[in-house]
């Protein structure tokens, strides 16, 4: 049997419709227009394409949006000053610095400089700490998007064996944490596998829900999953270019083989990617409401 395809594109579209209505309402009732700045340092092609997609979505939703491009050789102090400028700008509610940053810049220092109230990426330690103890905060966009996909697709997470492959700060650690919280989309029993795990397949074969953010193309093969598993593929690997110069993408799982065994699976592209961007928009609306005192 072929798996149900969990379309991030479709779910994201639905959430964007909801957000569009919310943006129109807060604008009309309170005169508040959500403001988002995305700061891009250098010209990494993947980062350029992510930031462009974020800006396009913000614009479509009626946000006040600024794309702030900075040269590769910007000094750390200059970047920190720029963030401080946006921290103090009342028309801006969300600040995103696209990662990775050039090596001469201390990433933690930059992320810590963003006001936690405008940290729509959910990377500031104040928000990370609140997430861990289950307090209201900005949730990191990719894990937040995964939760929404599972909940809106009717996947039962309570009591489920969830296996996460990857332990990054952006995906692996936060999704593992969120799925064990006492909340909708949580209450799971969570195992995290990483590069030092002795036998990854032993764990992945036990998974009712398998979340893969390994950053390597097709590392999860069909023999590593059980019948009926729900697979969330976070990988975005550029494996070539079309004759027109467009990137050819594939995920971290062997989609074609695994879809014959899984009960549900996310595609790449069109799975987690559109959800990540949409949750950034949701966080920005939340930030605007909180900063305006209408949340």
| Residues forming the active site | 54, 98, 121
* 99 scored as a contact of ligand GUN (CB under 6 A): yes
Bridge partners for 231 per DSSP: 210, 265
Q: How far is the CB of 294 from ligand GUN (least distance, A)?
A: 26
- Asked if 150 and 157 touch (Cβ cutoff 8 Å), the reply is yes
Interacting residue with ligand GUN among 3, 96, 163, 232 (CB under 6 A): 96
10-18, 90-98, 112-120, 244-252 -> range binding ligand GUN (CB under 6 A): 90-98
State the Cα–Cα distance between residues 288 and 294, nearest whole angstrom: 9
56-64, 92-100, 193-201, 266-274 -> range binding ligand GUN (CB under 6 A): 92-100
Bridge partners for 102 per DSSP: none
- Toward ligand GUN, which CB reaches closer, 99 or 200? 99
- Toward ligand GUN, which CB reaches closer, 54 or 203? 54
Interacting residue with ligand GUN among 82, 120, 139, 141 (CB under 6 A): 141
2-10, 55-63, 93-101, 181-189 -> range binding ligand GUN (CB under 6 A): 93-101
Task: Pick left, alpha or beta for residue 98 (phi over 0 → left; psi -120 to 50 → alpha; otherwise beta).
Answer: beta
* 177 scored as a contact of ligand GUN (CB under 6 A): no
96-104, 146-154, 182-190, 233-241 -> range binding ligand GUN (CB under 6 A): 96-104
- Strands annotated E in 73-208: 94-97, 161-165, 189-193
State the Cα–Cα distance between residues 167 and 60, nearest whole angstrom: 33
* 119 scored as a contact of ligand GUN (CB under 6 A): no
- Toward ligand GUN, which CB reaches closer, 96 or 160? 96
Q: Angle at CA 168, nearest 5°, toward 116 and 46?
A: 85
- Asked if 251 and 237 touch (Cβ cutoff 8 Å), the reply is yes
CB contact burial 11-48 (16+ within 10 A = b; e otherwise): bbeebbeebeebbeebeeeeebebbbbbbbbbebeebe
* 170 scored as a contact of ligand GUN (CB under 6 A): yes
Interacting residue with ligand GUN among 65, 98, 204, 278 (CB under 6 A): 98
* 51 scored as a contact of ligand GUN (CB under 6 A): no
């Amino acid at each position: 049997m072929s798996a149900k395809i969990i379309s991030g594109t479709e779910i994201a579209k639905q959430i964007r419709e909801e957000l569009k209505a919310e943006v129109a309402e807060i604008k009309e009732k309170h005169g508040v227009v959500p403001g988002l700045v995305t700061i891009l340092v250098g010209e990494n092609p993947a980062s350029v394409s992510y930031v462009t997609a974020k800006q396009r979505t913000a614009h479509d939703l009626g946000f006040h949006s600024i794309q702030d491009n900075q040269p590769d050789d910007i000094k750390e102090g200059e970047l920190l000053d720029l963030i401080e400028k946006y921290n103090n700008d009342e028309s801006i509610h969300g600040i995103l610095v696209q990662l990775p940053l050039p090596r001469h810049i201390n990433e933690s220092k930059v992320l810590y400089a963003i006001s936690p109230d405008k940290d729509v990426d959910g990377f500031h330690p104040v928000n990370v700490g609140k997430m861990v103890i289950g307090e209201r905060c900005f949730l990191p966009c990719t894990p937040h998007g995964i939760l929404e996909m599972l909940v809106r697709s009717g996947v039962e997470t309570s009591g489920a064996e969830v296996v996460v492959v990857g332990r990054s700060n952006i995906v692996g650690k936060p999704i593992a944490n969120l799925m064990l919280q006492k909340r909708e989309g949580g209450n799971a029993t969570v195992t995290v596998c990483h590069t030092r795990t002795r036998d990854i397949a032993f764990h992945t074969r036990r998974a009712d829900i398998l979340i893969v953010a390994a950053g390597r193309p097709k590392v999860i093969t069909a023999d590593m999953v059980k019948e009926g598993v729900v697979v969330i593929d976070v990988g975005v690997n550029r494996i070539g270019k079309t004759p027109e110069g467009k990137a050819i993408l594939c995920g971290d799982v062997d989609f074609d083989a695994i879809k014959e065994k899984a009960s549900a699976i996310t595609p790449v592209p069109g799975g987690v990617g559109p959800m990540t961007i949409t949750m950034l928009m949701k966080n920005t609306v939340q930030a605007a409401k909180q900063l305006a005192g209408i949340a």
